A and B are shown apart, each in its own frame.
Chain A
Amino acid sequence: MSIPFLLFFACAFISVLGAVLLIFAREPIHSALSLVLVMMSLAVLYLLLGAEFIAAVQIIVYAGAIMVLFVFVIMLLNAGFEERTDWSKIAKVVGLPFSFFLLLAIAHMLSRSDIGTVVANGAGAPSNDAVSTRALSAALFQQYLFPFEATSILILIAILGAWILGRKE
């Protein structure tokens, strides 16, 4: 067991734990905090995959901005206890087994596909500068310049939409 494997399994365990806590938490604020846990551990996994910029953006934008927005709305609406779903019969009998079956099917197909063995053998492992921040910024501002600018318009439209939804009619 080398250090990357230990780090991967630790972060994978923490992220799955956070996702399970999100499902079973009664109060929305607990769900939000467990989601922050998932995002933090995913940022570590991004670092492990060599995507430093994405890891930083994950922490700053996702865990920082978006989750603070969620927590702010939870505070603003004073969202307390959630009424427990009564886990209806059909959900217990059909839903849960089928969701587990879906998970198993996806995992089985992924582990059987050759994408898993490519990097395991070290054949497909890219050189380190292939995923560096410098190359990413070059791709973002040259090849993907138009989509990048389009996202700024998207953000502007989102701000206008939030303003229109939030004002008093």
Chain B
Amino acid sequence: MSVVPISYYLVLSAVLFGLGAVAVVFKRNIITIFMAIELMLNAVNLAFVAFARAHGQLDGLVYVFFVIVVAAAEATVGLAIVITIMHNRQTLNVERVNLLKF
């Protein structure tokens, strides 16, 4: 059975990461920007799994596990911040949230 070359996975990972970076720059809604960051984390996870497969070692998979845990913690705190911003400013547009203290 032929195996898909690892470089295919890496190119897909790079494409997804680039699309996530474009979304972070171009989107205005703070929740969507957050989701784009999750997309970039997913792209990096794909590269980790591909490298773990290529080298036949488990460390990449363990790192993916930790990345997922950290992403969960990040989503918790980040969405709490989003809710606080919405309560204080009544907007989700990042261009309207340009002052640290008002």
Q: Type the 1/0 row for B74-93, where 1 means its CB is closer than 8 Å to any CB of A.
A: 11110111111010000011
> Quick one: closest B residue to A168, CB to CB?
B87
> Quick one: closest A residue to B42, CB to CB?
A42
Q: A38-B42, A65-B72, A69-B76 are in contact. Are A110 and B92 (CB under 8 A)?
A: no
Query: Number of residues in B with C-beta < 8 Å to the partner?
Result: 71
Q: Type the 1/0 row for B3-15, where 1 means its CB is closer than 8 Å to any CB of A.
A: 1111111111011
> Quick one: closest B residue to A152, CB to CB?
B69
Smallest CB separation, A31 vs chain B (Å): 5
Q: Type the 1/0 row for B41-73, where 1 means its CB is closer than 8 Å to any CB of A.
A: 010011001111111111101101110111111
Most buried by A among B39, B51, B55: B39
Within 8 A of B (CB), among A63-108: 65-66, 69-70, 73-74, 76-77, 79, 82-83, 85, 87, 91, 95-96, 99, 102-103, 106-107
Do A2 and B2 have beta carbons less than 8 Å apart? yes
Contacts of A42 in B (CB 8 A): 42, 45-46
Do A74 and B16 have beta carbons less than 8 Å apart? no
From A107, A116, A140, contact of B5 by CB (8 A): A116
Q: A42-B42, A95-B25 are in contact. Are A49 and B80 (CB under 8 A)?
A: no
Do A19 and B19 have beta carbons less than 8 Å apart? yes
Tell me if B's interface is mostly helix, strand, loop or mixed: helix
Q: A22-B36, A66-B72, A74-B31 are in contact. Are A91 and B80 (CB under 8 A)?
A: no
> Quick one: closest B residue to A39, CB to CB?
B42
Most buried by A among B61, B62, B75: B61
A158-B68 Cα distance, complex, nearest whole Å: 14
Do A38 and B58 have beta carbons less than 8 Å apart? no
A19-B59 Cα distance, complex, nearest whole Å: 27
A166-B3 Cα distance, complex, nearest whole Å: 49
Contacts of B56 in A (CB 8 A): 124-127, 130-131
Do A110 and B10 have beta carbons less than 8 Å apart? yes
What residues make up the interface of A, taking CB atoms closer than 8 Å to B?
A: 2, 4-5, 8, 12, 15-16, 19-20, 22-23, 25, 28, 31-32, 35, 38-39, 42, 45-46, 48-51, 53-54, 57-58, 61-62, 65-66, 69-70, 73-74, 76-77, 79, 82-83, 85, 87, 91, 95-96, 99, 102-103, 106-107, 110-111, 113, 115-120, 122, 124-127, 130-131, 135-136, 139-140, 143-144, 147, 151, 154-155, 157-159, 161-162, 165-166
Show 5 residue pairs from A and B whose CB-CB distance is below 8 angstroms, ordered by the A residue.
Answer: A83-B28, A99-B18, A126-B57, A161-B76, A162-B80
